[in-house]
Copies of this chain bind each other. A is one copy, B any other.
């Protein structure tokens, strides 16, 4: 009970939301989102699991906070969600902004999936989308077309296209040949495609797709289509 003011035993920094969210992101980055448990999170912070509930309502609140933190990384990367820089072509500006967001999201590949499960959208997140909408408006879009545009872009507006097939490089190599065998009759077109790829680039297998290239291809296809609709209307 005596004052032990200046003992150097453990800094004794109390927990706070910031530190909780940071630790959560670090865990998810390292082991995937399914490795993020309240117990593991507490452990990383040198604390018992129950202590987390003093700072945070529940796990959902952790996920909300984590998404908000990721969005502020995006904000930092884009240099703020300011009003659109006028004068510059909307298509170039939007493309640039989305690719910047992508650079952040690639550091947290689990984030889009979590994003989609959110029921509350933070102010920061809304400001991101408001800024995108602003780029479209200032680029000459009607609200109606801009609204459609946001829907078409979907998760692509965050720089992330959910890949339907995550290429698993393990199997791809080992039985690619055996697969091509039975593909030839049952899956003629996939077989044909693979054979052409194999011909053009003998070293490649099923895992040949380049995510960044495909992302940009899809993004440009959509942006071009939108520009066409904009000028037509």
Interface residues of A (CB under 8 A from B): 115-116, 119, 121, 123, 126-127, 129-131, 133-134, 137, 143-144, 146-148, 151-152, 154-155, 157-158, 161-166, 168, 186-190, 192-193, 196-197, 209, 214, 217-218, 221-222, 224-226, 228-229
Structural contact, A218 and B151, CB atoms closer than 8 A: yes
Structural contact, B217 and A152, CB atoms closer than 8 A: yes
Given A133-B193, A190-B130: A218 in contact with B162 (beta carbons within 8 A): no
Structural contact, A193 and B147, CB atoms closer than 8 A: yes
Complex partner residue of A222 from B130, B143, B225, CB under 8 angstroms: B225
- Given A144-B196, A225-B225, 5 more pairs with CB closer than 8 A: A116-B162, A143-B193, A152-B221, A154-B162, A158-B164
- Pick the most buried of A115, A164, A188: most chain B CB atoms within 10 A of its CB: A164
Which B residues are in CB contact (< 8 Å) with A166?
116, 119
Structural contact, A164 and B154, CB atoms closer than 8 A: yes
Structural contact, A221 and B226, CB atoms closer than 8 A: yes
Number of copies: 2
Structural contact, B154 and A217, CB atoms closer than 8 A: no
Which B residues are in CB contact (< 8 Å) with A126?
187, 190
Q: Which residue of B lies closest to A200 (CB)?
A: B144
Structural contact, A164 and B155, CB atoms closer than 8 A: yes
Which B residues are in CB contact (< 8 Å) with A146?
193
Q: State how many angstroms separate the Cβ of A83 from the closest Cβ of chain B.
A: 8
Which B residues are in CB contact (< 8 Å) with A218?
148, 151-152, 154
Complex partner residue of A148 from B127, B137, B188, B214, CB under 8 angstroms: B214
- In the bound complex, how far is the Cα of B169 from the Cα of A215, in angstroms? 32
Structural contact, B130 and A187, CB atoms closer than 8 A: yes
Complex partner residue of A162 from B155, B196, B221, B229, CB under 8 angstroms: B155
Q: State how many angstroms separate the Cβ of A87 from the closest Cβ of chain B.
A: 18
Question: Could you give 7 example pairs across A and B, Cβ below 8 Å?
Answer: A126-B190, A133-B193, A148-B214, A154-B163, A155-B162, A221-B226, A222-B222
Which B residues are in CB contact (< 8 Å) with A130?
186-190
